[in-house]
């Protein structure tokens, strides 16, 4: 029996017994922790999952854009491409503006795929993280992390992982018009075209399974397209 002060009529305290069905404090804390963890997981996980999956279903249609009269681009002698700004979608001028570097080869063929095509039209988007590249006498240079490209747009130094994208083009009534965009790489020495990939994304999935595995780590094809041009 518990001791009580001398002469005291106090009785030892007995805690009321909880009914068997009631949630104990420990159980409540455990359930709260699990619930909170699930909520945090949902807040983080749902947008991340949506980010990974959404690009697989999103494709845009490249809208043809006039860059200007052909004569504006034909004064180049040594490698000195002409900058041509454009807005691909007039309804979205802030998000669809871009800059193409138009290189005049000195040749005359208006077929963009011909080996003697008169122009090569490069994208200015660096293939490291997407900064705008600048034309130099040696090719192109990226001011962000030192990426360097030669006059074919092929990376020669720094972190970019592949050549600059190129634009398909046509001459329509004396106007140079870009009509599609392609990612490119040199495979066995041949210029090879691919559906557009994002900066930093390989044009072909590495590993033995290659293209049979969807590339879910990056946004997928960003433009709808017809047949991919044959290697040059
Ligand atoms: S974005 Fe061009 S080198 Fe990094």
218 has a pLDDT exceeding 50 = yes
Q: Is the CB of 159 under 6 A from ligand 1?
A: yes
What pLDDT is stored for residue 166 in this prediction?
Answer: 97
Q: Are 181 and 62 in contact (CB under 8 A)?
A: yes
For residue 6, what pLDDT band results from cuts at 50, 70 and 90?
very low
| Domain that includes residue 143, residue range | 65-212
Q: Is the CB of 81 under 6 A from ligand 1?
A: no
Residues 103 and 163 in one domain: yes
What pLDDT is stored for residue 14 in this prediction?
Answer: 56
Determine the average pLDDT of the residues in 13-18. Answer: 55
Number of domains in the chain: 2
What pLDDT is stored for residue 107 in this prediction?
Answer: 96
Q: Are 220 and 52 in contact (CB under 8 A)?
A: no
- Whether 98 is in a domain gets the answer yes
Q: Determine the 3-state secondary structure of 170 from DSSP.
A: strand
What pLDDT is stored for residue 89 in this prediction?
Answer: 82
8 has a pLDDT exceeding 70 = no
DSSP state of 70: G
Q: Is the CB of 195 under 6 A from ligand 1?
A: no
What CATH number is attached to the domain comprising 137? 2.102.10.10
- Whether 84 is in a domain gets the answer yes
Cα 158 to the center of its chain, rounded Å:
19
Q: Is the CB of 132 under 6 A from ligand 1?
A: no
Dist. CA 132 → ligand 1 center (Å)? 8
- Percent residues over pLDDT 70 in the chain: 74
Q: What gap in Å lies between CA 159 and CA 200, rounded to an integer?
A: 9
């Amino acid at each position: 029996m518990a001791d009580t002060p001398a002469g005291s009529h106090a009785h030892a305290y007995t805690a009321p017994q909880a009914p068997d069905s009631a949630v104990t404090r420990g159980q409540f804390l455990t359930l709260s922790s699990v619930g909170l963890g699930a909520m945090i997981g949902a807040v983080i996980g749902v947008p991340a999952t949506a980010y990974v999956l959404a690009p697989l279903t999103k494709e845009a249609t490249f809208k043809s854009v006039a860059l200007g009269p052909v004569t504006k681009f034909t004064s180049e002698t040594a490698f000195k491409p002409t900058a041509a700004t454009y807005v691909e979608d007039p309804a979205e001028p802030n998000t669809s503006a871009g800059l193409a570097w138009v290189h005049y080869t000195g040749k005359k063929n208006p077929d963009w795929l011909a080996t003697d095509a008169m122009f090569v039209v490069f994208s200015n988007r660096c293939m490291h993280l997407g900064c705008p590249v600048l034309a130099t006498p040696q090719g192109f240079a990226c001011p962000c992390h030192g990426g360097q490209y030669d006059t074919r747009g092929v990376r020669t130094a720094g972190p970019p992982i592949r050549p600059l994208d190129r634009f398909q083009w046509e001459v329509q009534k004396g106007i140079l018009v870009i009509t599609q965009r392609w990612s490119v790489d040199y495979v066995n020495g041949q210029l090879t075209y691919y559906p557009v990939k994002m900066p930093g994304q390989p044009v072909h999935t590495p590993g033995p399974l290659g293209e049979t595995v969807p590339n879910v780590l990056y946004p997928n094809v960003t433009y709808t397209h017809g047949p991919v041009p044959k290697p040059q």
